[in-house]
Amino acid sequence: MSCRESDIIGWFDAAAESAAAQQTETLRRILVRNHAAEYLQKWLGDVDVQRLEASALESLFASSVPLASHADLEPYIRRIADGETTPLLTQEPITTLSLSSGTTEGRPKYVPFTRHSSETTLQIFKLAAAYRSRMYPTREKGRVLEFIYSSQRSKTKGGITVGTATTHVYASEEFKMKQHETKSYTCSPQEVISSGDYKQSTYCHLLLGIHYAKEVEYVTSTFAYSVVQAFRSFQEVWREICVDIRDGTLSPTRVSIPDVRRAVLEVIRPNPDLASKIEARCQDLEKRDWMGLIPELWPNAKYVYSIMTGSMQPYLSKLSHYAGNLALISADYGSTESWIGVNMEPCSPPDKVVFAVIPTFSYFEFIPLRRQSHDTDDRQSTDDFVEDNPVPLSQVKMGKEYEIVLTTFTGLYRYRLGDVVEVTGFHRNTPKLNFICRRKLILTVNIDKNTEKDLQSVVARGSQILRNTGAELVDFTSHADIGKQPGHYIIYWEIEGEGEVEERLLEECCREMDAAFVDQGYIVSRKCNSIGPLELCIVEKGTFKKIMENFIANGAALSQFKTPRCTSNPVLLRILNVRTIKKFHSTAYAS
């Protein structure tokens, strides 16, 4: 490990050791920096936070400033978007807004983005890389095959720049500096990253990745979905890539953007030997259903690195298929609103990963949660958790579950993130968190309460039936249909090799999913028929790609895209319903 890597780990160790003091100082800095903002003036007035002792500061803040959702802050963000220049959330003007990757219904959800956002992103990149280097050392001046994408940025009517958080980071001076300073270089030039056309960028990422095949140290993207999507694409275009490698050309049908063509053609040269080797390997990989594709084509790659928790878990099976014997390392824990924690233990499998909170990035509070017993008739809460009063980072307890609350330098105050985490231990004095689920309910008709994690578990149970058929679940989403009575759940599946699955097995999948919901509200409702039988819809191949393209057409970037696990968006439902080729209804609760 280099001195620079040792230094940043040393910095984090020191911050973790004094986590409580770091948190108080972070809160003080946020409040001092933004004390004149209208939102803070409303709750704190002219209190001199600089003079307050640590405990008094935290107590005053918690008692004076209410917990907030995005809806509470949205009127201020809209005023910023409309061009109002008076200090609303922050004392310094906000000139950039991020579009949250968690938006699933097509409605823009803006989050303030400042230079602090870019700085913390680059800082966590360096810290995480230092921990990975301990276990998986990489060569100096090696290459990284990065499937990263910028989307087009736009302006609000008030002149504020809007785009995804990743797009802002890739356009920042901090990111460009990182590209020059880092010991491993991305395979693709900036023109490829910022092309605005994910298909052309993906082709170039793959082509340049093959060009630098022996130099590639690891493969990465923001989300596991993007890595899987890229290699699904490779299965379709590898012959054209081999032609371009052999001749030193760039397919005009695959890549037409002049700046991208010029940048790529400056790099590649004719290489018939490499093309022949890749061609032979791909022919062999096709026979093996592309198992072990990544180590086969990138022999010096050490691991695959991306966010693999939460909504990315359904893609791990396919990612592992492509990765063969390579390690899968889950990237760090963050959101559009703030980075939260770093993965200090890259050897941990993705389903066991925990994240150590970085106490200088934001001020963190934690709402203690207790699970309701399933025999309760109390339906007042929004899910199966009962809340206690929020506590600061220094008071969390191991083995307990919490919802995270953020106060950020970018103007979010006591902001409920909606993430449920478990404290699994501590690094020095900062907690280590295991991500449990998003708290938001996504499937509900009346008294039933099901989260994204509940749906993922149900789909996993149902899709196990496909294992011995040669078919594979590509992706899924759901919808709570209340258009007719009784309302019922619809689950949409796209299956690779659907023609090989007998209809009786798909009926069994549908029945198994219906019976797999453990929420008592759902079970009781199904038994008394106040919720109808679950419906399984099989959609055409490429349906979820169409959904992705719809999001990208509306300003999302591929590297920040998440398949919505539940939708009531009429555009998406139209895509799903028009492309449905088979329907099945559960008999799980038939009398």
DSSP string, 287-315: HTTTTTHHHHH-TT--EEEEE-SGGGGGG
Tell me what pLDDT residue 378 has. Answer: 39
* Residue 137: partners with Cβ closer than 8 Å, 6 or more residues away: 1
Q: Which amino acid is at 427?
A: H
Exposure letters 480-493 (e unless 16+ CB within 10 A, then b): bbeeeebbbbbbbb
Query: Cα–Cα distance between 99 and 107 in angstroms, integer?
Result: 10
Tell me what pLDDT residue 373 has. Answer: 57
| Beta carbons of 207 and 244 less than 8 angstroms apart | yes
Point out the residues of the chain with pLDDT beneath 70: 1-3, 101-108, 174-184, 372-384, 441, 498-499, 555-557, 559-560, 591
Query: Cα–Cα distance between 292 and 280 in angstroms, integer?
Result: 15
Residue 280 CB-density burial (10 A; 0-12 exposed, 13-18 middle, 19+ buried): exposed
Structure tokens at 531: 């919720």
Tell me what pLDDT residue 559 has. Answer: 67
Phi, psi of 368 (to 5 degrees): -65, 135
| Beta carbons of 437 and 312 less than 8 angstroms apart | no
Element (H, E) at 116: helix 115-135
Tell me what pLDDT residue 79 has. Answer: 92
Residue length of the chain: 591
Q: At what angle do helices 3-17 and 19-34 cross, to 10 degrees?
A: 90
Q: Give which of 223, 234, 242, 236 is closest to 294, Cα–Cα.
A: 234
DSSP string, 329-378: EE--EE-SS-EEEE-S-TTS-GGG--EEE-TTTSEEEEEEEEEPPTT---
Tell me what pLDDT residue 21 has. Answer: 94
Tell me what pLDDT residue 376 has. Answer: 40
* Residue 252: partners with Cβ closer than 8 Å, 6 or more residues away: 261
Mean pLDDT of all residues in the chain?
Answer: 87
Tell me what pLDDT residue 179 has. Answer: 57
| Beta carbons of 113 and 96 less than 8 angstroms apart | yes
pLDDT, tens only, 444-497:
887 778 888 889 899 999 998 888 787 889 999 999 988 888 889 999 999 987
**Which single residue is written with the structure tokens 């309701």?**
372
pLDDT, tens only, 546-584:
998 888 877 666 766 788 888 888 889 999 999 999 999
CA dist 96 → 27, 116, 171, 180 (Å): 23, 12, 12, 25
Q: Give which of 433, 438, 457 is closest to 522, Cα–Cα.
A: 457
CA dist 316 → 275, 494, 586 (Å): 30, 16, 28
pLDDT, tens only, 294-318:
999 999 999 999 999 887 888 898 9
For residues 499, 505, 506, 512, the Cα torsion angle rounded to the nearest 10 degrees is -160
Structure tokens at 357: 């909170």
Q: Is the peptide bond before 486 cis (omega within 30 degrees of 0)?
A: yes
Tell me what pLDDT residue 50 has. Answer: 82
Query: Cα–Cα distance between 355 and 341 in angstroms, integer?
Result: 5
pTM exceeds 0.85, yes or no: no
Phi, psi of 573 (to 5 degrees): -65, -35
